[in-house]
Homo-oligomer: A and B are copies of this chain.
Amino acid sequence: MKQLRVGLIGYGFMGRTHSNAFTQVKNFFDLEYQPVLKAICARDEKNAKAFAKKWGYESIETDWRKLISRDDIDVIDIAAPNNVHAEICIAAAKAGKMILCEKPLAMNGPQAEKIVAAVAKAKVPNMVWYNYRRVPAVTLAKQLIDEGRLGKIFHYRAKFLQDWTISADLPQGGAGLWRLDAKVAGSGVTGDLLAHCIDTALWLNGNIDTVTATTETFVKQRKHTLTGKMEKVTIDDASLFLARFSNGSLATFESTRYARGHKALYTFEINGENGSIFWDLHDLHRLQVFDYKDESKIRGWKSVHITDGDHPYMKNWWVPGLQIGYAETFVHQVADFIQGLSSGKMASPTFKDGLATDYVTDAVLKSAKTKRWEKVKKVK
């Protein structure tokens, strides 16, 4: 088996999901390449060492530029905050490394364009970690849609609801809280949560033409962890928009961290002439399917338990009825990336796909300011 030598940048929540994926993938998928945990890079040496020990990384680096320059690294995996994605991606591309980058790809569309240009020029394999495409239920939804089962699409609706920032006592900025600082995160829930909804939607339902949006920051000031002072909150706490897709369907999108009772409730529903599909991250191992072709008097929403061998990815895991969880979606993404290397057909979402999502979030944030419908730029 060939080696795929990984250099990871970042050791937070996403550093752990990626590391687990690199570790598990060989045990459950038969692939040409096997990830090898070559190096973990973090500014703080102590943290880097602790993470390396925990996960079995062979070495550490404290400067990502040094990591990129190493000959024994095949793929740079970026699990660092959003504001460093562009610089690292561009440098890694120049160094000829394959690149896996956490979402969103960049702070905004123009920045993402530069990243896309860099990897195009360097011709290096690349992928954004929009992992929800690899939930087996979501992948099955994609298959059903591609098979034309829903017919003409009329409606799409997605939401991503959380409730963890309601308390005004929660500080912003710093280690676990950079997502509340627009200078580091780019935006609030728009780039963090809506970006997931948008990536799935573009994949399942095609391009979005126009949007009208509104955003809100409910808590105006929070203590900043780094300065210790009360500072203006710069991110959007909630972001809602209406959209029109190129296929003529209408959509509502909503994300917030102020929906009491919801921890990570990402749901989407798509209604077509012949059927509908609903999915919910809180029960990610189920897909709700309505098939209009079913006999009228016993027609209803089917709760499909996505744990059978004929469901995407599931023959690689356990037996019918036994569910997988969140972590496995990253395993699938690594598996698909590696299969893309073998087949020569790069697995999605590529950086280009990541750019497409950034264009939508740009239009959403712009519309929230202009209070008008805004066109979404298309990826060329």
Which A residues form the contact surface with B (CB < 8 A)? 13, 16-17, 19-20, 23-24, 26-27, 54-55, 140, 144, 150, 154-155, 157, 159, 161-164, 166, 212-214, 216, 218, 238, 240-242, 244, 248, 250, 252, 254, 256, 258-265, 271-276, 281-287, 289-292, 294, 296-305, 307-308, 310-311, 317-328, 371-373
- CA of A56 to CA of B213, assembled, Å: 52
What residues of chain B lie closer than 8 Å to A16, measured between beta carbons? 27
Number of this chain's copies in the assembly equals: 4
The 9 closest A-B pairs by CB, nearest first: A264-B321, A263-B321, A261-B290, A300-B302, A300-B304, A325-B325, A322-B326, A263-B320, A154-B258
- CA of A274 to CA of B317, assembled, Å: 27
B274 touching A260, Cβ below 8 Å: yes
Q: Which residue of B has the minimal Cβ distance to A329?
A: B322
B252 touching A301, Cβ below 8 Å: no
Interface of A is mostly: mixed
What residues of chain B lie closer than 8 Å to A300, measured between beta carbons? 289, 302-305
Per a CB cutoff under 8 Å, which of B154, B261, B289, B301 touches A256? B154
A260 touching B296, Cβ below 8 Å: no
Q: Which residue of B has the minimal Cβ distance to A303?
A: B300
A260 touching B19, Cβ below 8 Å: no
Q: Name 5 A/B residue pairs within 8 A (Cβ), A-sorted.
A: A13-B319, A260-B271, A262-B271, A264-B322, A298-B304
A259 touching B241, Cβ below 8 Å: no
Most chain B CB atoms below 10 A, which of A16, A150, A155, A373: A155
Known: A284-B323, A302-B299, A371-B373. A261 touches B275 (CB 8 A): yes
Q: Which residue of B has the minimal Cβ distance to A244?
A: B214
What residues of chain B lie closer than 8 Å to A216, measured between beta carbons? 248, 250
Known: A284-B323, A305-B300. A212 touches B275 (CB 8 A): no
Per a CB cutoff under 8 Å, which of B166, B242, B310 touches A296? B310
Q: Which residue of B has the minimal Cβ distance to A215?
A: B250
What residues of chain B lie closer than 8 Å to A310, measured between beta carbons? 296-297
